[in-house]
């Protein structure tokens, strides 16, 4: 695999994880549709994520954890974590 294809493979991981900005996500989605190797990598990553979620479900945090974290001086919840 060339360095460029290794970089694209890492981008596919970021794409599947929802870590790319919208413009780069659309550009990579188009490349995935055109490139069978990238499509296979996307499918492999998605299958691995499904298997991990099945085998290792997310456990509920300990009672009071949110209050202990949020009660620290100067702490502000990141926007995406608020109201959960």
- Tell me the per-residue pLDDT of 71-84, one tens digit each, with 9 for 90 and over: 777 777 666 666 54
At residue 73, the pLDDT reads: 75
b/e code 30-50 from CB counts within 10 Å (16+ = b): eebeebeebeebbeebeeeee
In a domain, 74, yes or no: no
**Tokens matching residue 13:** 């991981």
Residue-wise pLDDT tens digits, 39-64:
999 999 999 999 999 999 888 888 88
In a domain, 64, yes or no: no
What is the domain range of residue 15? Answer: 1-57
Percent helix / strand / coil, the chain, rounded to 5? 65, 0, 35
**Tokens matching residue 26:** 């659309």
DSSP alpha helix (H) spans, 17-64: 22-34, 36-55
In a domain, 78, yes or no: no
Structural domain count, the chain: 1
In a domain, 41, yes or no: yes
> Is pLDDT of 14 > 70?
yes
């Amino acid at each position: 695999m060339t360095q460029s294809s290794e970089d694209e493979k890492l981008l596919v991981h970021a794409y599947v994880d929802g870590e790319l900005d919208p413009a780069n996500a659309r550009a990579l989605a188009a490349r995935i549709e055109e490139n069978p190797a990238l499509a296979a990598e996307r499918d492999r990553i998605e299958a691995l994520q499904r298997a991990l979620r099945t085998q290792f479900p997310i456990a509920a945090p300990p009672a009071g954890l949110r209050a202990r974290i949020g009660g620290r001086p100067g702490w502000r919840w990141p926007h995406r974590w608020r109201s959960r």
